[in-house]
Homo-oligomer: A and B are copies of this chain.
Amino acid sequence: MNELTKFYKLLSDETRIRILMLLKRHKLCVCELCGIMEETQPKISKHLAKLRDLEIIKDERQEQYIFYSLNTDNPLYLLTLNIIYDKLDQFPILKKDFERGKFPEKFFISAKS
């Protein structure tokens, strides 16, 4: 399977779309994503790994936290994500994600301690 079909395969899952759309607005760490999306940590981690492996996103460790952001090096990926962003009405749950993601630091665990 080549890169393009792999890319579309990754886009065929709603959870990953949600992740990508949230990362399009903010760089976020795993715990923030889990909090915003109300999903389990292993689930989010596994999806992030797939996205990172194809270099759609990139990671950056800061202490014990790993922040993820969109990789802006691939024009095709960016274009396609923009296309999806224009079709957000197809993902009602993303409305809630964005609301909860307005202040992502609320879900930043260390911020609570």
Which A residues fall within an 8 A CB radius of B?
Answer: 1-6, 8-9, 11-14, 17, 76, 79-80, 83-84, 87, 90-91
Contact = CB atoms under 8 A, between A and B. Distances in A.
A79 B87 CA distance: 14
A4 B79 contact: no
Nearest to A87: B4
**Leading 3 A-B pairs by shortest Cβ distance:** A9-B12, A8-B11, A8-B12
A4 B4 CA distance: 16
Contact of A14 (B1, B17, B87, B90): B1
A83 B91 contact: no
A83 B90 contact: no
A65 B40 CA distance: 51
